[in-house]
Structures are given as C-alpha cells and as structure tokens.
Structure 1
Amino acid sequence: MDDLALHAHLIGQQGSRSALNTPVLVLDIEKLDRNIATMQAFADARGVALRPHAKTHKSVDIGRRQIAAGAIGLCCAKIGEAEVLADGGITGLLITSPVSAPVAIERLAALAKRGIGLMAAIDNPDMVKRWDDALTSAGAMLEVVIDVDPGIRRTGVASPEAAVAVAEAIARSSNLTCRGVQYYCGMQQHIEDYAARRAAIVDRTDYLQSVIAALTEAGYQPEIVTGSGTGTHHIDLELGLFTELQTGSYVFMDKQYLDCDLANGPVPPFETSLSVDARVVSANHDALVTIDAGFKSLSTDGGAAQVQRGAAPETMFMFMGDEHAALIAPDIGTRLRPGDPVSLTVPHCDPTVNLYDHYHVVRGDTLVEIWPVSARGRAR
C-alpha cells in the first residue's frame, strides 16, 4: 500500500503521528515555515536575493512556500527537477549542474521555451554551441551563468581566463545571454568551526573576485553572482559579494549542519523540521534495541542518525543492514519495547528525502497533510 492509502484517513486526527506506519518521512510544518522566514529575513536584511536550492526538498509544495515568503525562484541540480517544478508553476528556476547529453540539451531548449525566467549554468565553450543550436531549433532563448570552480574540480571553469573564453562564446551565440557567474564552495560548507570556515571562505572569495575582475575587464561584468549554501550563508552575507543565495538544507537541518557553528554562536539559527520516524521491532538485549529503519530509510554518506525523541539524545545509532538499525544505550532494552516509536534526525537530508515518496506533514503530533516528494528520482 502507498502512503496515501495507508495514512490519508489519519489527516486531522489528534495525535495521529503516533499511528503512522514506519519508517516514514515526517516534516514539522511550523518549524519549516519558521526556517523559511528566517533565511528570507537574513537575505532581505542584506539586500540579497534568495533562490533556494530545491535539490534538498524536491517538492513543489515547499517551493511554493519559499516563493510566497519572498524567494525569486528556485535552483535545481538536474533538468528533471526543473521540469517537475516548472510543471508545478514554479518560475525563476536555475539549473546549477551542466547539461550535456544530447537529449538533455533538447529538453533544456524545450523547457526554455515554456519556463518563465529559466536560467542554467554552463562552463564550457563547446557546450555553448550545442545549446545554441538546440535553442535555435526550439525557437527559444536562454539566460545563463558561468559556473566557476572553487577548487573542487567537479564542475566550473578552472581559471579567470577560462571564464572569459566562455563569456566570449556566449557573446557570439544567437540565443544565449550571460547574466553572471555561479560559485558554490561545497567543500567548505561543513567545516564545523566557524573561524576555520570563515577563513576558508575569505580565501575562496578572493579568488572569485579575481574571476569577476577578469570578466569585467573583458567587457562581461557579471550582473548576478549566485551561490553560497547553508553552511556559509552567514559569512557570505557578511562579505557582500553574492547578489543571491542558493541555500538549501536550512529548511530541514540535518545532523551534518547541526554539527556546524553556522552563525558564530551557540544557538543554531534554524530548527530541525525533518525526521524519520521508526519503531522498535526487537528488544531482547539490555543495552540494544533494533528499529525498522536501515540503509533503505536513511542516507549513509553523512555518518549516523541521531535520536531526536523516544530515547535519550546520547543514544548510539548503528546501521544493521538494509531494513534495520540498532539503538545502543545502558538498559535501553528494558525501557523500550517492540512497537515503541522513535524519531531520528537524518544524517544528510538531500539523499534521505530521495528515498521516500511523500512527506507526512505534522503540526505538533497531528498529521495535517501528505505532500509528494515531487521530483524524487528525477536525476536526469
């Protein structure tokens, strides 16, 4: 049975969260809305636009809430995500990863014809020609930003000179307009110490300034400087180079970001709105119980999940296979019994969300809505 068949009848029933079949992805709508408002307020106070990254939530419903709060659009990692969000009425989309497969370029051109305010990142002069030809065939125009490599060597031009070469190719095209540059320092987002993270970002910002200077000298001064992330937004706003932020995980706050000092203070600026609810399925040992959420229910790239409620926060979590994990603590097997609920803070929110079909939206302990993970699996 799918989520709607299992749980739609619980919507509006007081305390219905406890009746959900587990494992299940749960979203606290009040915390979500506070997180959205907080990030928007940070950006507004600095006069910076907010274009949140939808690769985190993959949700038309959440995207609409971000737009309603003041975001100018959303970012998407893949063309498939952008297609889903555009179909859901979201405008101002920016595709942040290179689009290179021939069929994907055709889809990009088709989306440019119907998607209001669509932009895409590009980092190669050869791709400019391919995109331009596809846009000519589709009868469409497309605005682009030049992706700049901050040192990850994943995507982006590798030097200021390479950025100028891409800008020159765009200027020669018939259907592309260069709006600026994109710069995402992914390696620096999860440096836990604030001072160390700030020092790393100051260094990378100096490099970005050299790219912008080269483009400006060549006659291609960027109008848009887009990038940043949840881990560095506070620093990037202070440094003042970005014209828009692409923050994503702030809406949920996973353990990776909770381990970071995001704003140079003891209190995180955002709340944990996302959890995976699970249940104890076996309790035959004093210091260990087994729950029904394993590799198939939680991302494994961000370390261990953390107990949010149902057991002590210091309880140790350990994966025990596809379907199971262990909670380990003194006497936990005498305090928790099969069927008892536990809630987990996820290690890494983006890939965890992609494991589920729906968000179970709660207000307090009551299920109030069920939202689809609209762009789940749209990785191409």
Structure 2
Amino acid sequence: MLPSRNLGPNAYLLGVPGSRHTLDTPALVLDRLALEKNIAKMAAIAERHGIGLRPHVKSHKSVRIARMQIEAGALGVSCATLGEAEAMVEAGIPGVLVTSPIVGTNKLRRFVALADHAGPRQLMVVVDDPRNVAELAVHAARLAYPLDVVIDYHAGYHRTGVTDENAALTLARAIADTGMLTLRGVQAYGGHFQHIEAPAQRKAAASQLRDAVASLVAKLESAGIPIELVTGVGTGTHEADASAGVFTEMQPGSYVFMDVEYNDVLAEGAEASPFDTSLFVQSTVISTQAPQWVTIDAGTKSFATDSGSPVAAAGVEGTSSYAFFGDEHGKLIVDPAHRPSLGAHVEFITPHCDPTVNLYDRYHVIEGDTLVDIWPIEARGRL
C-alpha cells in the first residue's frame, strides 16, 4: 500500500499498535491525551478567575487544535500574522484577533476582505499609529459594518505599540473620527518576560505591566472612551495575571505543547510545570561510527535553533546531550553504557515549540504507543 500523499509517508501506520516507535523521521509527534489535558487545564484556570481566553495560534498553527480550544470554552483565538488569521477565518474559527499591526496596501486589502468574509465582530486587529488607522479606515469603507480595532500598548518591550497614555488617547480619538472603525479595547502583551526563569522577577515584571495597563485604561475611560476588552497575558504569567483583575482576557499559546524553555520557567522548586509536554520531535539513529556519540537525522531543519538545544525524552537511557551537527543531522552525546543502536528512535522535547512547529507540515497524533491520526498544520509558513 502506497502512503497517502496528503498524510505523508506514515499514513500506513495509522492504528497499528507500536507504530509510535516506527515512524519515518524526522516526525513531529503530538501526544493527544496530554494536549487535551493542557487545553482543559488552561480553560479551567480562565473560568475559575472569570477571565476570557483567546489563545494564540502562533504556537500550534492548527485549525483542529483551535477548534478544541473553542470547544473547551475559549472565546476566540489570537494570530500573530494575517496569514494565520486567514487560515483560521477560512476554517470558520470565530473571534479572531490579529496581534500585530497590518501595514501596506495589499495586506490591508486582504484584511478587509477577510473581515467581510468573517462577518461583524468576528475579526479584530491592533493598531498603534494614526497613519495606519487612516489607511485602514479607507479600505474599511467597503464594509457594511464598522471594523473592530484594538490599541496596541508597547508593554515595556517597544516592539510595537503606543509608547504612553497620551499617545493612546490621541489614537483613540483618531479611531473615533474615522467613522469606519470601532475601538474595542487595549492589548498589552509582555512577551519579553514570559521566559524569565526566576519566579519572583517574572511576577514583578508582570505586576509592573498590569499597573501601567490599569493606568492607561483609566486614562481612556476618564476621557469618555469605553474599553470593552483588555487583552494580553502569556503562558509564563498566566496564573498571576488571570487573578489580578486588570486583563479581561488572556492570549497564552505554548501551554498546549510546552518545551524546554517553558518547562524550566513554570517549574517552581521541586514542583514540575503544571502543564504536560505534549509535543516531541522523533528522530532515528543513522550512524554509530563515533565512540562518543551517535548521529541522528534531525538537525537545524528539524528544530528551531533560537533557544538552546532539544532534550531527549525517550529512546535513550542514562545521561545524554544534543548538539547540532548540520542541517539534517544532530549529535547525541551519550553514556557509552546506554548507547542507542543503529536505527533506534529517539524523541526530543523541542527547545522552542512555536518556530519548531513552523518547520513541519503535519502532526503525528499518538495515544500511548499508537499513531491514531495525522493532522495538517494549516497555518504553517503563513507569515
């Protein structure tokens, strides 16, 4: 039987007991039960604190996972790019927020066409510049209803976003003057401190941002500008931010998968992360000629390289460490007494899940030791 072209070379293994350990590699492996547990846990946290959940799809880029999050109680999803938003809206995912400004004639045309397809109050975008507001309003004139926008606040990172309260007030008034745009609220995403490992330092940074956001919202509302939503919050600060009463909704993304970075960040002393690792990259040992290491078929084209090295999770005993060995190869330095044999399969926790996912076309979904499904990554490469 030839493998399905759509499902890739592992399609013939679907439903075969033990198939998790015989995949054609490199393969992106997703533990379904751990994924479902993580989705349910974050939804329960949001419900317990009375805060909305608009999780970020930049981590998973998957329509299937977005639907699972909506079914668990999320009010919508957040997207980093217009391409991601197109993939979600085209699949019928509601409540989409694009968390970066959309600039340029072609992208503005695409966004407004997408808003027309989505329908009223189903698509929002952040803005941080009156010029962008004016251009967006011109394109939005073709719509039968106002286009929803959110003021982006820099959150101390200064990647995008207005720099102070006065700039936010000026922008809010510019939005109102267009007649074609409706201001829904404020975004303040502190991405730069989500990975601070020291809990006290990370919580202090989050608290400082919340104070600034509360002051910003008060400034706008005192000027007669209603703020319906205050959105932000990542996986690293979700618990403290959810309970503080400043944000009305959260945008965590990586919690569905976890990775080496977030496992370290969310571990508190002897306590492990509250979320399970559900995402792995599986590789095969293709050479055992060197005495100190084995060579595997997963290199820089299989892992994002911005956040250190992957960590072996299964397939090798004893101590081991990974080193990049080229585009297609990795070096797994091992304890000689537990050296994996030629053809052995080794699974790794990804160093940074989001950009690693973007390297693959599909998830190999497993339950126990069996491949049970293969899901496309629809927004992969939609930059």
Q: In which range does the TM-score fall when normalised by the shorter chain?
A: over 0.9
Aligned pair count reads 378
Mapped partners of 2:270, 2:75: distance in 1: 29
Q: How does 1:94-113 map to 2 (within 5 A)?
A: 94-113=97-116
Aligned partner of 2:28 in structure 1 is 25
Mapped partners of 1:71, 1:15: distance in 2: 34
**Contact 2:266–2:274 (8 Å) recurs in 1:** no
Q: How does 1:171-320 map to 2 (within 5 A)?
A: 171-261=176-266, 266-312=271-317, 314-320=319-325
Q: How does 1:86-125 map to 2 (within 5 A)?
A: 86-116=89-119, 117-125=122-130
Deviation at 1:138, TM superposition (A): 4.2
Q: How does 1:145-164 map to 2 (within 5 A)?
A: 145-164=150-169
1:135/1:262 CA distance change after superposition, 3 Å = farther
Mapped pair 1:78 → 2:87: no
Aligned partner of 1:344 in structure 2 is 348
Deviation at 1:313, TM superposition (A): 6.8
**Contact 1:113–1:141 (8 Å) recurs in 2:** no
Work out the percentage of aligned pairs sharing the same amino acid: 47
Deviation at 1:101, TM superposition (A): 1.4
**Contact 1:106–1:134 (8 Å) recurs in 2:** yes
**Contact 2:319–2:335 (8 Å) recurs in 1:** no
SS at match of 1:25: strand
Aligned partner of 2:358 in structure 1 is 354
Mapped partners of 2:318, 2:76: distance in 1: 37
Deviation at 1:5, TM superposition (A): 4.2
Alpha-carbon deviations, 1:115-144, whole Å to 9, x = none? 141111111111111111101034452111
**Contact 1:231–1:262 (8 Å) recurs in 2:** no
SS at match of 1:284: coil
SS at match of 2:172: helix
**Contact 1:255–1:306 (8 Å) recurs in 2:** yes
Deviation at 1:336, TM superposition (A): 1.2
Deviation at 1:223, TM superposition (A): 1.3
SS at match of 2:265: coil
Q: Which amino acid aligns with 1:31?
A: A
**Contact 1:194–1:262 (8 Å) recurs in 2:** no
Mapped partners of 1:322, 1:267: distance in 2: 33
SS at match of 1:328: strand
Q: Which amino acid aligns with 2:329?
A: H
Mapped partners of 1:222, 1:246: distance in 2: 18
1:93/1:262 CA distance change after superposition, 3 Å = farther
**Contact 2:22–2:345 (8 Å) recurs in 1:** no
Mapped partners of 2:324, 2:90: distance in 1: 38
SS at match of 1:256: helix
Deviation at 1:186, TM superposition (A): 0.8
Range moving further from structure 2, 136-145 or 288-297: 136-145
Mapped partners of 2:64, 2:318: distance in 1: 31
1:160/1:108 CA distance change after superposition, 3 Å = same
1:18/1:238 CA distance change after superposition, 3 Å = same
Q: Which amino acid aligns with 2:339?
A: R
**Contact 1:316–1:328 (8 Å) recurs in 2:** yes
Deviation at 1:14, TM superposition (A): 0.9
In the alignment, structure 2 segments of 5+ residues that lack a partner are none
Alpha-carbon deviations, 1:13-45, whole Å to 9, x = none? 111112210000000000000000000000000
Deviation at 1:312, TM superposition (A): 3.6
Q: Which amino acid aligns with 1:19?
A: T
1:314/1:164 CA distance change after superposition, 3 Å = farther
SS at match of 1:144: strand
**Contact 1:194–1:264 (8 Å) recurs in 2:** no
Alpha-carbon deviations, 1:239-295, whole Å to 9, x = none? 221100000000000111011136787121100000000011111233211111000
Mapped pair 1:165 → 2:166: no
SS at match of 1:231: helix
Root mean square deviation of aligned Cα: 1.5
Deviation at 1:221, TM superposition (A): 3.3
Alpha-carbon deviations, 1:316-340, whole Å to 9, x = none? 11001101111112306x6311100
SS at match of 1:132: helix
Mapped partners of 1:340, 1:151: distance in 2: 47
Instruction: Tell me the TM-score normalised to structure 2 length.
Output: 0.95
Aligned partner of 2:379 in structure 1 is 375
Mapped partners of 1:128, 1:264: distance in 2: 47
Instruction: Tell me the TM-score normalised to structure 1 length.
Output: 0.96
